[in-house]
Amino acid sequence: MISYFWFFIAAAFEIAGCYTFWMWLRQDKSLYWLLPGILCLVLFAFVLTRVEAELAGRSYAAYGGIYIVASLIWLSSVEKSRILLTDYIGVILCLFGAGIILFDPKFENASGM
């Protein structure tokens, strides 16, 4: 269960870091927006290494489902945009795929979930 915690923390840092770059490039924000963005992306990379897994690639693939859910939460809460039916369908399909990876007995044993 502790891996879920790290996945959600990593997703928050990754989305926040990328969002600052988005604001700088697409919204003409100050270059100073990149400083917290870079820090968030460094923290994202560090936090994702806290997930105990035998193989990094499998861990990152499972993280993808968490990232998609976190992205839709960000879309709704920070950007105040309505989540569409197609968003819900897409997230269900992605979570199903991530679940196949995540609940593989070999992954569970290696990750301590």
- pLDDT by residue (tens digit) across 73-108? 999 999 999 999 999 999 999 989 888 877 766 655
14 near 40, Cβ under 8 Å?
yes
Q: What domain count does the chain have? A: 1
pTM of the model as a whole: 0.77
Q: How far is CA 84 from the centre of its chain?
A: 20
Q: Do residues 21 and 34 lie in contact, with contact meaning Cβ atoms separated by under 8 Å? A: yes
3-state DSSP call for residue 82?
Answer: coil
Domain span including residue 98: 2-111
Question: Between the CA of residue 97 and those of 29, 30, 54, 63, 102, what are the distances in Å?
Answer: 37, 39, 19, 11, 9
